[in-house]
Amino acid sequence: MTTTLDAPAEAPVRNAKARKRFGFHGLMMTPGMVLLALLSVIPLVTIIATSFSRVHLLGGVVFDNVGLTYWARLFGDLDLWVQWLRTIAFFVLTVGLEMVLGLGFALCLWKLVRARNLLLTLFLLPMFVAPVIVGLLGRFLTDSTFGLYTWLLGLVGYHGDILGGGTSAFLAVVAMDVWEWTPLITLVVLAGLTAVPQSIREAAALDGANGWQSFRHVLLPSISGVLLVALLIRSMDAIRYFDIISVTTNGGPADATKTVPIRLYETAFRFFDLGYAAVIGLVMLVVTILIARAFVRVLDRKGLTR
Protein backbone atom coordinates (compact mmCIF):
# COMPACT_ATOMS: atom_id res chain seq x y z
CA MET A 1 0.00 0.00 0.00
CA THR A 2 2.05 2.89 -1.26
CA THR A 3 1.33 6.03 -3.17
CA THR A 4 1.67 4.24 -6.50
CA LEU A 5 -1.73 2.70 -5.82
CA ASP A 6 -3.51 4.86 -8.36
CA ALA A 7 -1.02 4.34 -11.15
CA PRO A 8 -2.70 2.97 -14.30
CA ALA A 9 -0.34 0.01 -14.36
CA GLU A 10 -1.95 -1.37 -11.23
CA ALA A 11 -5.48 -1.47 -12.54
CA PRO A 12 -6.39 -4.83 -10.96
CA VAL A 13 -5.41 -3.54 -7.54
CA ARG A 14 -7.54 -0.48 -8.11
CA ASN A 15 -10.54 -2.57 -9.09
CA ALA A 16 -10.29 -4.56 -5.92
CA LYS A 17 -10.06 -1.35 -3.98
CA ALA A 18 -13.08 0.03 -5.82
CA ARG A 19 -15.12 -3.00 -4.91
CA LYS A 20 -14.12 -2.65 -1.29
CA ARG A 21 -14.98 1.02 -1.36
CA PHE A 22 -18.38 0.33 -2.89
CA GLY A 23 -19.08 -1.98 0.02
CA PHE A 24 -18.25 0.54 2.70
CA HIS A 25 -20.04 3.42 1.02
CA GLY A 26 -23.04 1.23 0.38
CA LEU A 27 -23.06 0.27 4.04
CA MET A 28 -22.97 3.90 5.10
CA MET A 29 -25.88 4.71 2.81
CA THR A 30 -28.07 1.86 4.03
CA PRO A 31 -29.76 3.42 7.10
CA GLY A 32 -30.58 6.61 5.22
CA MET A 33 -31.83 4.80 2.14
CA VAL A 34 -34.01 2.42 4.15
CA LEU A 35 -35.56 5.24 6.17
CA LEU A 36 -36.07 7.40 3.10
CA ALA A 37 -37.69 4.50 1.29
CA LEU A 38 -40.07 4.02 4.20
CA LEU A 39 -40.85 7.73 4.18
CA SER A 40 -41.31 8.10 0.44
CA VAL A 41 -42.08 4.82 -1.31
CA ILE A 42 -44.80 3.74 1.13
CA PRO A 43 -46.58 7.12 0.94
CA LEU A 44 -46.25 7.04 -2.86
CA VAL A 45 -47.85 3.60 -3.06
CA THR A 46 -50.51 4.77 -0.61
CA ILE A 47 -51.40 7.86 -2.61
CA ILE A 48 -51.62 5.84 -5.83
CA ALA A 49 -53.88 3.32 -4.10
CA THR A 50 -55.94 6.18 -2.69
CA SER A 51 -56.52 7.60 -6.16
CA PHE A 52 -58.37 4.39 -7.10
CA SER A 53 -60.33 4.08 -3.87
CA ARG A 54 -63.07 5.52 -1.81
CA VAL A 55 -61.49 5.83 1.62
CA HIS A 56 -63.50 5.35 4.80
CA LEU A 57 -61.95 6.83 7.91
CA LEU A 58 -64.40 5.60 10.51
CA GLY A 59 -63.26 2.49 12.35
CA GLY A 60 -59.73 2.42 10.99
CA VAL A 61 -58.74 3.23 7.43
CA VAL A 62 -60.61 1.22 4.79
CA PHE A 63 -59.97 1.40 1.02
CA ASP A 64 -62.85 0.57 -1.38
CA ASN A 65 -61.70 0.04 -4.95
CA VAL A 66 -63.67 2.26 -7.33
CA GLY A 67 -61.41 1.93 -10.36
CA LEU A 68 -60.90 5.02 -12.48
CA THR A 69 -63.84 7.01 -11.06
CA TYR A 70 -61.69 9.77 -9.60
CA TRP A 71 -59.33 9.90 -12.56
CA ALA A 72 -62.26 10.34 -14.91
CA ARG A 73 -63.40 13.32 -12.87
CA LEU A 74 -60.12 15.07 -13.57
CA PHE A 75 -61.03 15.83 -17.17
CA GLY A 76 -64.42 17.35 -16.51
CA ASP A 77 -63.15 19.47 -13.63
CA LEU A 78 -63.01 22.94 -15.15
CA ASP A 79 -62.34 24.54 -11.77
CA LEU A 80 -59.15 22.55 -11.42
CA TRP A 81 -57.86 23.70 -14.80
CA VAL A 82 -58.57 27.30 -13.83
CA GLN A 83 -56.71 26.67 -10.60
CA TRP A 84 -53.76 25.33 -12.57
CA LEU A 85 -53.73 28.46 -14.71
CA ARG A 86 -53.86 30.55 -11.54
CA THR A 87 -51.01 28.52 -10.04
CA ILE A 88 -48.95 29.10 -13.18
CA ALA A 89 -49.74 32.83 -13.18
CA PHE A 90 -48.79 32.98 -9.52
CA PHE A 91 -45.63 31.01 -10.21
CA VAL A 92 -44.52 33.21 -13.11
CA LEU A 93 -45.27 36.40 -11.21
CA THR A 94 -43.54 35.47 -7.94
CA VAL A 95 -40.52 33.78 -9.45
CA GLY A 96 -40.19 36.48 -12.12
CA LEU A 97 -40.32 39.34 -9.62
CA GLU A 98 -37.97 37.53 -7.27
CA MET A 99 -35.43 36.98 -10.02
CA VAL A 100 -35.55 40.59 -11.25
CA LEU A 101 -35.51 42.18 -7.79
CA GLY A 102 -32.96 39.70 -6.46
CA LEU A 103 -30.63 40.38 -9.38
CA GLY A 104 -31.12 44.13 -8.99
CA PHE A 105 -30.42 44.15 -5.26
CA ALA A 106 -27.44 41.83 -5.72
CA LEU A 107 -25.90 44.13 -8.34
CA CYS A 108 -26.40 47.16 -6.09
CA LEU A 109 -24.96 45.44 -3.01
CA TRP A 110 -22.06 44.25 -5.11
CA LYS A 111 -21.25 47.86 -5.99
CA LEU A 112 -21.23 48.84 -2.32
CA VAL A 113 -18.01 47.17 -1.36
CA ARG A 114 -17.54 48.38 2.17
CA ALA A 115 -21.07 48.08 3.61
CA ARG A 116 -21.85 44.92 1.64
CA ASN A 117 -21.69 42.38 4.43
CA LEU A 118 -23.78 44.30 6.94
CA LEU A 119 -26.40 45.20 4.32
CA LEU A 120 -26.59 41.65 3.00
CA THR A 121 -27.22 40.41 6.54
CA LEU A 122 -30.15 42.81 6.88
CA PHE A 123 -31.46 41.83 3.45
CA LEU A 124 -31.47 38.15 4.42
CA LEU A 125 -33.78 38.39 7.43
CA PRO A 126 -37.13 37.57 5.73
CA MET A 127 -35.84 34.16 4.63
CA PHE A 128 -35.89 32.87 8.20
CA VAL A 129 -39.41 34.03 8.99
CA ALA A 130 -41.94 31.20 9.15
CA PRO A 131 -44.28 31.53 6.14
CA VAL A 132 -47.28 31.35 8.45
CA ILE A 133 -45.93 34.42 10.27
CA VAL A 134 -45.33 36.13 6.92
CA GLY A 135 -48.99 35.54 6.12
CA LEU A 136 -50.31 36.71 9.47
CA LEU A 137 -48.01 39.72 9.42
CA GLY A 138 -49.28 40.46 5.92
CA ARG A 139 -52.83 40.40 7.22
CA PHE A 140 -51.85 42.73 10.04
CA LEU A 141 -50.15 45.20 7.70
CA THR A 142 -53.04 45.22 5.22
CA ASP A 143 -55.89 45.25 7.76
CA SER A 144 -58.54 47.60 6.40
CA THR A 145 -58.82 49.71 9.56
CA PHE A 146 -55.39 49.86 11.19
CA GLY A 147 -52.92 48.21 8.80
CA LEU A 148 -49.70 50.15 8.32
CA TYR A 149 -49.62 49.44 4.59
CA THR A 150 -53.32 50.24 4.24
CA TRP A 151 -52.58 53.60 5.82
CA LEU A 152 -49.55 54.19 3.55
CA LEU A 153 -51.59 53.31 0.46
CA GLY A 154 -54.30 55.64 1.75
CA LEU A 155 -51.74 58.47 1.73
CA VAL A 156 -51.20 57.94 -2.00
CA GLY A 157 -54.91 57.64 -2.68
CA TYR A 158 -55.69 53.90 -2.64
CA HIS A 159 -58.56 53.07 -0.30
CA GLY A 160 -59.66 49.53 -1.21
CA ASP A 161 -59.80 46.56 1.15
CA ILE A 162 -56.61 44.83 0.02
CA LEU A 163 -57.32 41.20 0.98
CA GLY A 164 -61.04 41.70 0.26
CA GLY A 165 -60.70 42.36 -3.47
CA GLY A 166 -59.82 39.63 -5.96
CA THR A 167 -56.95 41.22 -7.86
CA SER A 168 -55.50 43.06 -4.89
CA ALA A 169 -55.61 39.90 -2.74
CA PHE A 170 -53.81 37.96 -5.47
CA LEU A 171 -51.16 40.64 -5.75
CA ALA A 172 -50.85 40.82 -1.97
CA VAL A 173 -50.08 37.12 -1.57
CA VAL A 174 -47.62 37.41 -4.47
CA ALA A 175 -45.95 40.33 -2.69
CA MET A 176 -45.68 38.33 0.53
CA ASP A 177 -43.87 35.49 -1.19
CA VAL A 178 -41.66 37.99 -3.02
CA TRP A 179 -40.85 39.65 0.30
CA GLU A 180 -39.83 36.36 1.86
CA TRP A 181 -37.79 34.86 -0.99
CA THR A 182 -36.15 37.70 -2.94
CA PRO A 183 -33.33 37.61 -0.36
CA LEU A 184 -32.45 34.07 -1.40
CA ILE A 185 -31.94 35.17 -4.99
CA THR A 186 -29.94 38.19 -3.83
CA LEU A 187 -27.70 35.94 -1.73
CA VAL A 188 -27.09 33.41 -4.48
CA VAL A 189 -26.52 35.98 -7.23
CA LEU A 190 -24.17 38.01 -5.04
CA ALA A 191 -22.12 34.86 -4.43
CA GLY A 192 -22.01 34.37 -8.19
CA LEU A 193 -20.94 37.98 -8.80
CA THR A 194 -18.15 37.93 -6.23
CA ALA A 195 -16.79 34.81 -7.92
CA VAL A 196 -16.38 36.65 -11.26
CA PRO A 197 -12.64 37.30 -11.56
CA GLN A 198 -11.64 40.95 -11.33
CA SER A 199 -9.33 40.51 -14.31
CA ILE A 200 -12.18 39.71 -16.69
CA ARG A 201 -14.07 42.83 -15.67
CA GLU A 202 -10.95 44.94 -15.99
CA ALA A 203 -10.29 43.57 -19.44
CA ALA A 204 -13.82 44.51 -20.47
CA ALA A 205 -13.39 48.02 -19.06
CA LEU A 206 -10.09 48.46 -20.92
CA ASP A 207 -11.74 47.34 -24.14
CA GLY A 208 -14.10 50.27 -23.66
CA ALA A 209 -17.23 48.43 -22.62
CA ASN A 210 -19.75 50.69 -20.93
CA GLY A 211 -21.76 49.66 -17.86
CA TRP A 212 -24.56 47.99 -19.78
CA GLN A 213 -22.25 46.24 -22.23
CA SER A 214 -20.05 44.78 -19.54
CA PHE A 215 -23.15 43.65 -17.64
CA ARG A 216 -24.75 42.09 -20.70
CA HIS A 217 -21.65 40.47 -22.19
CA VAL A 218 -19.36 39.83 -19.23
CA LEU A 219 -21.26 39.60 -15.96
CA LEU A 220 -24.48 38.00 -17.11
CA PRO A 221 -22.83 35.09 -18.95
CA SER A 222 -20.56 34.38 -16.01
CA ILE A 223 -23.43 34.18 -13.53
CA SER A 224 -25.94 32.46 -15.82
CA GLY A 225 -25.35 29.08 -14.17
CA VAL A 226 -25.95 30.55 -10.72
CA LEU A 227 -29.08 32.32 -11.93
CA LEU A 228 -30.43 29.07 -13.34
CA VAL A 229 -29.88 27.25 -10.06
CA ALA A 230 -31.60 30.08 -8.18
CA LEU A 231 -34.50 29.96 -10.63
CA LEU A 232 -35.00 26.23 -10.25
CA ILE A 233 -34.79 26.33 -6.47
CA ARG A 234 -37.48 28.96 -6.29
CA SER A 235 -39.52 27.10 -8.90
CA MET A 236 -39.97 23.96 -6.92
CA ASP A 237 -40.97 25.92 -3.84
CA ALA A 238 -43.32 28.30 -5.63
CA ILE A 239 -45.31 25.48 -7.19
CA ARG A 240 -46.15 24.04 -3.78
CA TYR A 241 -46.67 27.34 -2.00
CA PHE A 242 -49.33 26.84 0.62
CA ASP A 243 -48.81 28.42 4.06
CA ILE A 244 -49.15 32.10 3.21
CA ILE A 245 -52.30 31.73 1.12
CA SER A 246 -53.80 29.39 3.69
CA VAL A 247 -53.54 31.88 6.55
CA THR A 248 -54.30 35.06 4.61
CA THR A 249 -57.13 34.43 2.15
CA ASN A 250 -57.47 30.63 2.22
CA GLY A 251 -58.20 30.73 -1.51
CA GLY A 252 -60.66 33.61 -1.38
CA PRO A 253 -62.12 36.11 -2.02
CA ALA A 254 -64.29 34.34 -4.58
CA ASP A 255 -61.49 31.86 -5.36
CA ALA A 256 -59.16 34.65 -6.53
CA THR A 257 -56.18 33.05 -4.75
CA LYS A 258 -57.18 29.40 -4.91
CA THR A 259 -54.13 27.63 -6.31
CA VAL A 260 -53.77 23.89 -6.79
CA PRO A 261 -52.14 23.19 -3.37
CA ILE A 262 -54.99 25.05 -1.62
CA ARG A 263 -57.55 23.13 -3.66
CA LEU A 264 -55.83 19.84 -2.83
CA TYR A 265 -55.78 20.63 0.86
CA GLU A 266 -59.41 21.66 0.88
CA THR A 267 -60.50 18.57 -1.09
CA ALA A 268 -58.62 16.28 1.27
CA PHE A 269 -59.05 17.78 4.69
CA ARG A 270 -62.21 19.84 4.50
CA PHE A 271 -64.39 17.65 2.30
CA PHE A 272 -62.45 14.43 3.01
CA ASP A 273 -62.75 13.56 -0.67
CA LEU A 274 -59.44 11.72 -0.33
CA GLY A 275 -59.55 9.74 -3.59
CA TYR A 276 -59.94 12.82 -5.74
CA ALA A 277 -57.38 14.72 -3.67
CA ALA A 278 -54.92 11.92 -4.42
CA VAL A 279 -55.56 12.37 -8.15
CA ILE A 280 -54.90 16.12 -7.91
CA GLY A 281 -51.77 15.36 -5.88
CA LEU A 282 -50.38 12.86 -8.37
CA VAL A 283 -50.75 15.39 -11.18
CA MET A 284 -48.86 17.91 -9.05
CA LEU A 285 -46.19 15.31 -8.39
CA VAL A 286 -45.64 14.78 -12.12
CA VAL A 287 -45.19 18.51 -12.66
CA THR A 288 -42.71 18.73 -9.80
CA ILE A 289 -40.71 15.77 -11.04
CA LEU A 290 -40.32 17.52 -14.39
CA ILE A 291 -38.92 20.56 -12.58
CA ALA A 292 -36.68 18.34 -10.45
CA ARG A 293 -35.33 16.72 -13.64
CA ALA A 294 -34.39 20.13 -15.00
CA PHE A 295 -32.72 20.95 -11.69
CA VAL A 296 -30.64 17.80 -11.69
CA ARG A 297 -29.65 18.38 -15.30
CA VAL A 298 -28.24 21.77 -14.33
CA LEU A 299 -26.40 20.23 -11.39
CA ASP A 300 -25.08 17.58 -13.72
CA ARG A 301 -23.66 20.17 -16.03
CA LYS A 302 -21.90 21.71 -13.05
CA GLY A 303 -20.50 18.29 -12.24
CA LEU A 304 -22.21 17.96 -8.89
CA THR A 305 -23.78 14.55 -9.31
CA ARG A 306 -20.61 12.99 -10.68
Partner 1 sequence: MTSAIDRTPLRARLGVRAVVIVGLLWTLVPLVWMVASSFKTDVDVTAAEPEFLFQPTLENYRSLFTGANNLGPYIWHSVLASGISSVLAVAIGALAGYGLAGTRMRAKKHVAFWIISTRMAPIAVVVLPLFLLFRGANLIDSIPGLILAYLTFNLPFAIWLMSAFFAEVPPSVEESALVAGCTRWQAFWHVVLPLTKSGLVTTFVLCLVFSWNDYAFALVFSGPHSQTLPIAADQLVTQTGIDWGQLTAIGTIVVLPMIVAGLAVRRWLVTGLTLGAVTGE
Residues 94-113 that bind partner 1 (CB under 8 A): 101, 104-105, 108-109, 111-113
Which of 68, 72, 195, 254 forms a contact with partner 1 (CB under 8 A)? 195
| Count of alpha carbons within 13 angstroms of residue 206, beta-carbon side | 6
Which stretch, 67-75, 78-86, 143-151, 163-171, contacts partner 1 (CB under 8 A)?
A: 143-151
- Residue 56 engages partner 1 in binding (rule: CB under 8 A): no
Among 9, 11, 39, 78, binds partner 1 (CB under 8 A): 39
* Angle, in degrees to the nearest 10, between helices 11-51 and 274-301: 160
- Do residues 91 and 170 touch, judged by C-beta distance below 8 A? no
Residue 156 Cβ vs partner 1, minimum distance, rounded to whole Å: 15
Q: By CB under 8 A, which span of 16-24, 74-82, 89-97, 156-164 interacts with partner 1?
A: 16-24
Q: Is 296 in the site for partner 1 (CB under 8 A)?
A: yes
**8 Å CB contact between 132 and 139:** no
**Residue 124 and residue 187 in contact, taking contact as beta carbons nearer than 8 Å:** yes
**53-56 and 62-65 beta bridge pairing:** antiparallel
Contact positions with partner 1 (CB under 8 A) in 145-184: 145-146, 148, 151, 179, 183-184
Q: How far is the CB of 19 from partner 1 (least distance, A)?
A: 9
Of the candidates 7, 16, 33, 89, which one interacts with partner 1 according to CB under 8 A?
33
Look up residue 62 and give its DSSP letter. Answer: E
> If binding is defined by CB under 8 A, does position 131 make contact with partner 1?
yes
State in angstroms the smallest separation of the CB of 163 from partner 1: 13
Segment 269 to 288, residues that bind partner 1, using CB under 8 A: 269, 274, 277-278, 281-282, 284-285, 288
- Please report whether residue 127 would count as binding partner 1 according to CB under 8 A: yes
187 binds partner 1 (CB under 8 A): yes
Q: Can you say how many angstroms the Cα of residue 286 is from the centroid of all Cα atoms in its chain?
A: 15
- Classify residue 128 by its DSSP letter: G
x-marked contacts with partner 1 along 61-90 as a string, rule CB under 8 A: x-----------------------------
Q: Which residues pair with 63 in a beta bridge?
A: 55
277-281 — which CB contacts under 8 Å span 24+ positions?
Answer: 277/50, 278/47, 278/48, 278/50, 278/51, 278/70, 279/51, 279/70, 279/71, 279/73, 279/74, 280/74, 280/80, 281/47, 281/51
